[in-house]
A and B are shown apart, each in its own frame.
Chain A
C-alpha cells in the first residue's frame, strides 16, 4: 500500500517536471518492464527499446496516469502493447529463417550423450513458446512469469476474463503438443539405447 502511494506521489512530482521522480520510478520498475519485454520478444535489443519507450511514455503521459492506482498494471499494459507492435514489425521471413537455423543446429547436436536433458528441454520449450502467436505468448508470460491473475491479465491486455482463460488454455495445449511431438521424435532413439 505504501508503494502505491509512493508511485502516485512520484507521478505527481513528475508532472511538475521533476526528473528525479522519473529516475526513481525507472529504478523501481525497470526489471519488471525489461523482463516482460524480453520474455515476449526473446530479443535483448527489442527489450531495451521497449523499456526506453515505456518510460518515455510515463514522462509524456504523466498527466493522464491515475496517481491513486499503482503504476505496475499501467506499465504492463504499455509494455505489452509495445511488444505487440514489435512482434508485428518483425519480418516473418526472418523468424522462419532463424527457426530453420535453430532447428538445424539443434539436430546436429541432438545425440543424447552430447546434450544434457535439461538444456534440451529448455530449448524445446523456449522454441515452442516463441512459436506461439503473440496474443497467446503474452498471456503465457504474464501468467507464468509475472504471476498475474486472470483478472489482472484481462486489465493489462484489455479483453474479457473469459478470453484470457481461453487463450491460456489454447497456449498450454499448443505447448503440450509441442513437447509430446518432440518426445515422439527423440524416444525411439533413446529407447534403442536403453534396451
Chain B
C-alpha cells in the first residue's frame, strides 16, 4: 500500500500522469450512449415543436428586420452626406443641432443593426 506513495515522490510526473489517465479511462471505458438518444434527436429534427417553430420564426423576422435597417442606414448615410456636408468654405458642422440629431438617429439605427 505504501508503494504507491513512494512512487508518487520518486517518479512524480510520470506516475501522476498515468494515474490520472487511468482513473479517467476507468470511468468511461466502454461507455456508449443508449440508442434512444438518436431516436430523440431524429424526433426533434423531424417533428419540430411549437417552440422551435416560434424560435425559427423569430430568427427569420430578426434577419428580415436587420436587412431593412441596413437599407435605411445606407439611405440616411447618403442623405446626410448630401444635406449636411459643407460644400463650400468651412462650416462648423459638428455643432449643428440638426446634424447632431441626425447623427444620433443614425447611430441608434446602426446599434440596432449590429
Contacts and interface: CB of A to CB of B under 8 A. Distances in A.
B46 interface: yes
A23 interface: yes
A146 to B, nearest CB: 9
Contacts of A26: 38, 41
B101 interface: no
Interface string B1-37: 1101100100010001101111111111001111001
Given A19-B42, A48-B34, A180-B8, A145 B24 contact: yes
A133 to B, nearest CB: 16
Contacts of A129: 20, 23-24
Interface of B: 1-2, 4-5, 8, 12, 16-17, 19-28, 31-34, 37-38, 40-42, 44-46
| Of B1, B2, B42, most A-chain CB atoms within 10 Å | B1
Given A52-B41, A190-B2, A126 B27 contact: yes
Nearest to B21: A144
B8 A176 contact: yes
B46 A172 contact: no
Given A23-B38, A26-B41, A122-B26, 20 more contacts: A19-B45, A22-B45, A34-B32, A35-B31, A38-B31, A39-B27, A51-B33, A52-B37, A55-B41, A56-B41, A59-B41, A59-B45, A121-B19, A121-B23, A122-B22, A125-B22, A144-B20, A145-B21, A175-B20, A183-B8
